[in-house]
Amino acid sequence: MLESFFTRAILAGIGLAAVAGPMGSFIVWRRMAYFGDTMAHSAILGVALALFFSVSPVAGVFVIAVTAALLLGFLERRGMLSADSLLGLLSHSALALGLVLVALMPMVRIDLMGLLFGDILAVSVTDLALIYGGGVLVLAALAWLWRPMLAGTVSEEIAQAEGLRPERARLIFMVLLAALIAVAMKVLGVLLITAMLIIPATAARRLAKTPEQMALYAALGGVVAVLAGLWASLHFDTPSGPSIVVAALGVFALTSVLPDKSKGAT
């Protein structure tokens, strides 16, 4: 019989994987991996500011992640630096600034290891409600955005000609990604969130014939990684978050030797 905390960890991981799979598929299709990393790293700054102003860390992470996304879009339009340079600048600056702010608040005790790598075994019933409630909203919004996002992935010009407004869809997608990072931070930590977005989606890409199949397979691959990672953590006494990511890597390794069926996928 599993302990209640372990059951909550399984449920939290499954809920996160179900959302990260479809979201991660778009990140892979649009080559936004470094962008996702940047938003995840900004979460530390969001937590630091949330503690300073005595507000919810989830709200702080969400606000800062959205701000980072908007700032990146503004700087890209200004053409000051290349996109990868801007991402590197924002990613490492936000992470370093957040750590410095935390160090300047000695009256606040914070688990930096938990923030960086998560603590899925400490998930509460309230956290589960947030994960599943937020997950349903994110998936519903992503379903509404599916067609314009997919069209914009194939060709921005064609999507605009068809009146699908891909730029608006991309902006909303950034907000959804910020929401997912804010919710997932406690489970996997800011350094491992991007891995769970990218690895299952990359593994699913070889198996899927359509974009919808890839999103579904990515979610299923994430669930398998969660279950395998938690099992390994329980039996080998390894850190839960990193164990889940290693299990996701195992899923990718298995799919990489299977025949490539992705010709019909994006």
pLDDT in tens, 210-255: 999 999 999 999 999 999 999 999 999 999 999 999 999 999 999 9
Q: What is the mean pLDDT of residues 181-209?
A: 89
Which has the closest alpha carbon to 221: 243, 192, 190, 250?
250
Distance CA 219, CA 131 (A): 15
What's residue 266's pLDDT?
Answer: 61
- Residue range 191-198: mean pLDDT, rounded: 90
Tokens for 237, please give them: 């006494």
Least confident of 126-130, 162-166, 170-174, 211-215: 162-166
Report the share of the chain in percent with pLDDT over 70: 96
Inform me whether the pLDDT recorded for 30 exceeds 70. yes
Is the predicted pLDDT of residue 2 greater than 70, yes or no?
no
235 residue type, one letter: H
Q: With beta carbons less than 8 A apart as the criterion, state whether 245 and 56 touch.
A: no
For residue 139, the model assigns a pLDDT of: 94
**Chain Cα centroid distance, residue 208:** 21
Task: Give 148-160 pLDDT, tens digit per residue.
Answer: 888 888 777 777 7
The pTM of the whole model exceeds 0.85: yes
Q: What are phi and psi of 107, to 5 degrees?
A: -75, -10
At residue 41, the pLDDT reads 83
pLDDT-wise least confident of 85-89, 121-125, 215-219: 85-89
pLDDT at 18: 95
Mean per-residue pLDDT of the chain: 87
Query: How far apart, in Å, are the Cα atoms of 109 and each of 74, 102, 112, 115, 142?
Result: 35, 9, 9, 12, 36
Which is more confidently placed, 125 or 108?
A: 125
* Contact in structure between 200 and 17 (CB atoms under 8 Å): yes
- Would you list the DSSP string of the chain? ---HHHHHHHHHHHHHHHHHHHHHHHHHHTT-HHHHHHHHHHHHHHHHHHHHTT--HHHHHHHHHHHHHHHHHHHHHHTSS-HHHHHHHHHHHHHHHHHHHHHT-TTS---HHHHHH--GGG--HHHHHHHHHHHHHHHHHHHHHHHHHHHHHH-HHHHHHTT--HHHHHHHHHHHHHHHHHHHHHHH-TTTHHHHHHHHHHHHHTT-SSHHHHHHHHHHHHHHHHHHHHHHHHHH---HHHHHHHHHHHHHHHHHTSPP-GGG--
**4-188: CATH homologous superfamily?**
ABC transporter involved in vitamin B12 uptake, BtuC (1.10.3470.10)
- Name the more confident of 107 and 29: 29
The predicted structure's pLDDT at residue 232? 95
Dist. CA 92–CA 256, nearest whole Å: 32
What pLDDT does 216 receive?
Answer: 96
Looking at the predicted structure, is the pLDDT value of residue 1 above 60? no
Per-residue pLDDT at 244: 95
